Amino acid sequence: MERDNINNANNITDLSELRKQIDEIDKKILPLFLERMDICSAVADYKRSVGKPVLDTEREKQVLRSKIDMLDDKSRENEVYELYSAIMSISRDRQSRELSRDKGRVKIEDILKPKPHIDDPTVVFYGTDGSYSEEAAIKYFGENRRRFNAKNFEDAFVALKDGSADYAVLPIENSNTGTIVDVMDLLEKYNYYIIGEIDIPIRHCLMGVRGAEISGIKHIYSHEQGILQSREFIKTLSQNGEIICEEYYSTAQSAKKVADDGDKTQAAIAGRRNAEIYGLEILAENINSSDKNTTRFIVVSTHAEVDESCDKISAAFTLPHESGELYRVLACFAHGDLNLLKLESRPLDDKNFEYMFFVDYTGNLLDENVRRITNNVIEGTGEFKLLGNYRLKV
């Protein structure tokens, strides 16, 4: 009978007739689907009574296998898999809403710890005076805010921990070279939060002491990112002989080192402001490989800060090391109509071929729907860490 219906559909050329057939089928599907959802509520009641979680991975795998085994035409496996994966995702969502009344359930609002308002905060930034991080701190907090520098990324987190700073400004991602993984790892290690972000265009310059000439430069200092972002320009200098590039703490500290050493064969890759601060001459401008090069900086605090203006969420999570687990989590975003902005993974140090996933997605955790979807994600993960709910300051 099913094959006859398909053949009949193929013989119909009138689109309106085909749509009518689909409508008739949908009329049959809808009551059955709603009946299924009602049974899901009963399942949630049972799980509440025995303390079981929403996600039962083995049960879902059994359901998917059983549906595929019912097929005579194995070429339709993917379609059936997608259908029932979506249905089970919706079912989990229904059960999560039912179980969200439970006091024992993990809630996003339990993770958000209120922080007293600070009228005159102190800011720590990575690098030294003249760094792009300082530029980001000034742009975000204002020129007159108290600020001091940290020599390395972790020193900035230590300043938050010991209370000498209220906020830290750190680079997190460059449009050319990608994520700065050390900062991501420190966010997870210290369990701190992103409360804001800001983009700074990168305009690198090659600078040396007064009287230096570009043809005489033999040694270049900069942060690893500064060297990577200017690699095409550096290749052109090698025509004058071997150029040694040495990674230094930051672009700004590289400029300071060149100024302190007073060696005309040395140069630094840094922002223009450093030449003014340290009395250096600019030997070449805009040397980064892309004129659209931008670094995203984050503002970090010991506590999450969420208000109505927040529109972006960052989180990290692990997954069971089994096929289909990532798909289940991504389906939560898709069915919840939340835009997934970024997804990347980092290997776990203590486990072979297992990963920590980092995601950015749209939403405000003050919104009940966003909290519900995020709780659905939590249900499907091994460990979950909210990294922040914030907004881009432009």
Q: In CATH terms, is domain 18-99 a member of 1.20.59.10?
A: yes
Supply the pLDDT for residue 217: 95
Which residue carries 């405000």 as its tokens?
Answer: 364
Active site annotation includes 333: no
- Contact between 48 and 98 (Cβ < 8 Å): yes
The tens-digit pLDDT sequence of the chain (394 residues) is: 455 555 555 555 688 889 999 999 999 999 999 999 888 888 877 876 776 776 677 788 888 889 888 988 888 989 988 888 888 878 877 776 665 544 334 456 666 666 667 789 999 999 888 889 999 999 999 999 999 999 899 999 999 999 999 999 999 998 877 889 899 889 988 999 999 999 999 899 999 999 999 999 999 999 988 999 899 999 999 777 789 999 998 899 999 999 999 999 999 999 999 999 999 999 999 998 877 889 999 999 998 888 889 999 999 998 877 677 788 788 888 877 889 999 998 887 766 667 889 999 999 998 988 988 888 888 778 788 889 999 876 5
Fold of 307-390: Alpha-Beta Plaits (3.30.70)
Both structure tokens of 355: 């990963």
Query: CA separation (Å) from 319 to 294, 298, 323?
Result: 32, 26, 10
Active site annotation includes 374: no
Fold of 123-202+294-301: D-Maltodextrin-Binding Protein; domain 2 (3.40.190)
The domain limits of the chain are 18-99, 123-202+294-301, 204-284, 307-390
DSSP secondary structure code for residue 143 in this structure? T
- DSSP H/E element including 384: strand 384-390
> Of 297, 317, 333, 384, which one is the catalytic site residue?
297
- DSSP H/E element including 47: helix 15-50
> Of 251, 295, 318, 381, which one is the catalytic site residue?
295
Q: Which CATH number fits domain 204-284: 3.20.20.150, 3.40.190.10, 3.40.50.170, 3.30.43.10?
A: 3.40.190.10
Same fold, 123-202+294-301 and 204-284: yes
